[in-house]
């Protein structure tokens, strides 16, 4: 298994851009929760805190793909550095406005400005695609590694952000996220030899990557997938609170991410057979099946046994996440031209972000109205919608592939 991962890092500069990309991705998992924690302490209102965080998510959803489109057209370094400077300026203004008691509307303006944060996760994957476009077995392993790194980001980031904001000072979580962004982007863009070439003429001729019918299917499916993630988080916290063990919710959710991490590591060392579109549908169906035990456990168990049961169910549900995400990124690489790869991958993460916001808000309403146990039907419903979308869009996924898929390589060893 380890030999597969050693092979992908044999390319000069690969470890440097992947490691710096990890650092620059941490702010994605730290900023939203950091804003909520900061403003709830400084302003005494979760309503304002949640609204500002939601505006940041919507701004990133609207502006993120456009920034990535500029990256594809003009190059990673040329666009990422000024986009990062704008993000840091907006973040600094947000911290100052929060600390100095500026009017609430200034917080929203700053949150909109932070929406230009570059999608370094998409840029890292674009570099892997440039390195191993003709080596599908290595590209599969590289995408698997990055999926695991995404999970690590979302385990470590919130812990750092919340811990610092509550133990040091309220702005500490957002401030550290800004430091990670600055350091990570500077180091990432310094890796010039692995930066993919730009194709401005091809990009102008092709229009936006979202015009791809297959990519549209992925994005809509990812909105539903994001709704699963967002609702599971909110409902699990509420369920743990109902059982009198609120603090244990973070451990239960970490088990969910752990299942995804382990599955991603194993999946990256395998050479899956069959079409990518078929594997994606199978992964989405597995995610839906993994949600059903949550409803049963929540209805039948309570107290410590209930939390333990939810943790076990989430661990099993998490096993399908990374393989599905890895396959989806491989599909994006086949659905859009190389000149639009960063934008295409950013659209999928945009879909996820919108889904998380939708799922968390919907789950909150259901928790308030019907209780946490009943609210586990929210991720089940989102998962079923994801399956319906994937099934209905399967012909568009298959017809949209730019070239025939290479045959899987039987052995994971060799040059």
Number of domains composing the chain: 2
Per-residue model confidence (pLDDT) at position 156: 79
Per-residue model confidence (pLDDT) at position 415: 27
**Among candidate residues 119, 149, 151, 145, the one with its CA nearest the CA of residue 132:** 145
Q: Examine the domain organization and report whether 165 and 217 are in the same domain.
A: no
Mean pLDDT of 201-206: 56
Per-residue model confidence (pLDDT) at position 330: 85
Kindly report whether the global pTM for this prediction surpasses the value 0.85: no
Of all residues in the chain, what percent carry a pLDDT higher than 70? 94
Q: Is residue 336 part of a domain?
A: yes
Per-residue model confidence (pLDDT) at position 344: 86
Give the end of a domain, one of 133, 164, 196: 196
Q: Is residue 265 part of a domain?
A: yes
Mean pLDDT of 160-170: 83
302: tokens are 């309570």
d(CA 325, CA 33): 23
Q: Which of 17-31, 37-51, 130-144 is the least confident region?
A: 37-51
Q: Examine the domain organization and report whether 160 and 266 are in the same domain.
A: no
Give the end of a domain, one of 169, 196, 223: 196
CATH number of 360's domain? 1.20.1250.20
Q: Examine the domain organization and report whether 134 and 227 are in the same domain.
A: no
pLDDT per residue as tens digits for the range 233-285: 878 878 888 888 776 777 787 888 888 888 888 888 777 777 888 899 999 99
Buried b (16+ CB within 10 A) or exposed e, 222-244: bbbbbbbbbbbbbbbbbbbebbe
Q: Examine the domain organization and report whether 192 and 269 are in the same domain.
A: no
Q: Is residue 389 part of a domain?
A: yes
**Among candidate residues 174, 185, 175, 223, the one with its CA nearest the CA of residue 71:** 185
Pick the more confident residue, 85 or 252.
85
Examine the pLDDT at 404 and tell me if it is beyond 70.
no
Q: Is residue 222 part of a domain?
A: yes
Mean pLDDT of the chain: 85
Q: Examine the domain organization and report whether 293 and 343 are in the same domain.
A: yes
End-to-end distance of the chain based on CA atoms, in angstroms?
Answer: 15
Q: Examine the domain organization and report whether 273 and 344 are in the same domain.
A: yes
Per-residue model confidence (pLDDT) at position 108: 93
Per-residue model confidence (pLDDT) at position 414: 33
Per-residue model confidence (pLDDT) at position 17: 92
Q: Examine the domain organization and report whether 177 and 243 are in the same domain.
A: no
Q: Examine the domain organization and report whether 283 and 358 are in the same domain.
A: yes
Per-residue model confidence (pLDDT) at position 409: 34
Q: Is residue 308 part of a domain?
A: yes
pLDDT per residue as tens digits for the range 278-337: 899 999 999 999 999 999 998 887 877 888 999 999 999 999 998 998 899 888 888 888
Give the end of a domain, one of 165, 196, 227: 196
d(CA 23, CA 343): 21
Q: Examine the domain organization and report whether 400 and 268 are in the same domain.
A: yes
**Among candidate residues 112, 347, 108, the one with its CA nearest the CA of residue 218:** 347
Q: Is residue 59 part of a domain?
A: yes
**Among candidate residues 250, 258, 348, the one with its CA nearest the CA of residue 307:** 250
Q: Is residue 2 part of a domain?
A: no
218: tokens are 């992925």
Dihedral of alpha carbons 258, 260, 264, 267, sign: positive
Domain that holds residue 136: 16-196
Q: Is residue 6 part of a domain?
A: no
Buried b (16+ CB within 10 A) or exposed e, 274-295: eebbebbbbbbbbbbebbbbbb
Examine the pLDDT at 408 and tell me if it is beyond 80.
no
Q: Examine the domain organization and report whether 387 and 239 are in the same domain.
A: yes
Q: Pseudo-torsion of CA 182, 187, 191, 192, nearest 10°?
A: 40
Q: Examine the domain organization and report whether 219 and 276 are in the same domain.
A: yes
Per-residue model confidence (pLDDT) at position 258: 87
Q: Examine the domain organization and report whether 250 and 314 are in the same domain.
A: yes
Per-residue model confidence (pLDDT) at position 410: 32
């Amino acid at each position: 298994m380890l030999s597969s991962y050693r092979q992908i890092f044999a390319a000069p500069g690969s470890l440097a851009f992947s490691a710096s990309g990890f650092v620059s991705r941490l702010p994605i998992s730290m900023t939203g929760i950091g804003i909520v924690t900061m403003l709830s302490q400084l302003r005494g209102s979760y309503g304002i805190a949640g609204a500002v965080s939601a505006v940041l998510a919507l701004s990133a959803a609207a502006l993120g793909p456009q920034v990535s489109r500029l990256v594809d057209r003009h190059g990673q370094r040329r666009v990422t550095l000024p986009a990062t400077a704008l993000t840091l300026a907006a973040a600094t203004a947000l911290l100052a406005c929060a600390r100095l008691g500026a009017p609430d509307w200034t917080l929203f303006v700053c949150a909109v400005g932070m929406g230009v944060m570059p999608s370094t996760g998409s840029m890292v994957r674009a570099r892997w695609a440039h390195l191993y476009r003709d080596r599908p077995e290595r590209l599969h392993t590289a995408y698997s590694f990055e999926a695991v790194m995404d999970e690590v980001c979302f385990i470590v980031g919130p812990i750092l952000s919340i811990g610092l904001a509550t133990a040091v000072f309220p702005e500490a979580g957002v401030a550290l996220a800004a430091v990670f962004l600055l350091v990570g982007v500077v180091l990432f863009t310094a890796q010039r030899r692995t930066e993919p070439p730009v194709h401005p003429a091809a990009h102008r001729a092709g229009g936006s990557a979202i015009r791809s019918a297959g990519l549209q299917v992925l994005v809509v499916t990812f909105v539903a997938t994001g709704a699963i993630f967002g609702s599971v988080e909110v409902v699990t916290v509420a369920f743990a609170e109902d059982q009198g063990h609120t603090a244990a919710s973070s451990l239960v959710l970490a088990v969910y991410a752990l299942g995804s991490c382990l599955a991603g590591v194993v999946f990256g060392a395998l050479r899956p057979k069959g079409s990518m579109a078929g594997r994606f549908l199978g992964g989405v169906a597995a995610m839906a099946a993994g949600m059903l035990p949550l409803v049963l456990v929540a209805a039948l168990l309570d107290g410590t046994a209930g939390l333990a049961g939810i943790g076990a169910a989430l661990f099993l549900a998490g096993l399908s996440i990374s393989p599905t995400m890895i396959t989806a990124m491989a599909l994006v690489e086949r659905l859009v031209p190389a000149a639009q790869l960063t934008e295409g991958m950013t659209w999928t993460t945009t879909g996820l972000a919108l889904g998380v916001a939708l799922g968390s808000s919907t789950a909150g309403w259901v928790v308030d109205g019907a209780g946490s146990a009943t609210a586990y039907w929210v991720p089940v419903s989102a998962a079923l919608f994801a399956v319906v979308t994937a099934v209905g869009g399967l012909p568009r996924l298959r017809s949209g592939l730019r070239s025939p898929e290479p045959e899987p390589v039987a052995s994971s060893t060799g040059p």
